[in-house]
Amino acid sequence: MTSFSSRERFGVQFVELARRWRRALDHSLAQTGLTDATWAPLLRLHELGDGVQQKELALRVGLGESSLVRLLDILEHSGLIERRADAADRRAKLIFVTDAGRASVAQIREVLARVETDILLGLKDQDIESMLHAFGRIGERIQAILDDKERRA
């Protein structure tokens, strides 16, 4: 059996953990009627506040604009968001969370808190803070690599 260092195992283990985490969340969030593809952008939009441009939201959730448009169509059809023309840029659309969307966000947050409390049981707050700090540094490094590749393209 081949032995790999922590650095060599990190990426694969992180991806596998993220998939299992998402599966646990999706299973619990099924009661809200939203999928992973729709609850995450709704939550992010609520965090960003009303009046966010579609282009900005696409950047924040890491989706292409065309993929995001399909998700926004679903959310709008469900009455959770509404899109309005941007007075400053008629080509752009601003996104607003509706009252029903805010109620859905509250329900999502409640489910997330319950699932994450269960998942993180037994971990000390200090351990979680350390992981969050490391994730932040990894995220910054990934973004720097992506930005560099885009500049070169």
- Exposed/middle/buried for 92, CB within 10 Å: 0-12, 13-18, 19+? middle
3-state secondary structure of 77: helix
Q: How far apart are CA 61 and CA 95, in angstroms?
A: 14
Supply the CATH classification number for the domain 9-121. Answer: 1.10.10.10
Residue ranges in the chain modelled with pLDDT below 70: 1
Q: What's the predicted TM-score (pTM) here?
A: 0.78
Domain map (residue ranges) of the chain:
9-121, 123-153
Write out the DSSP string of 61-84.
Answer: HT--HHHHHHHHHHHHHTTSEEEE
Amino acid identity at 116: E
DSSP state of 39: H
pLDDT at position 104, please? 93
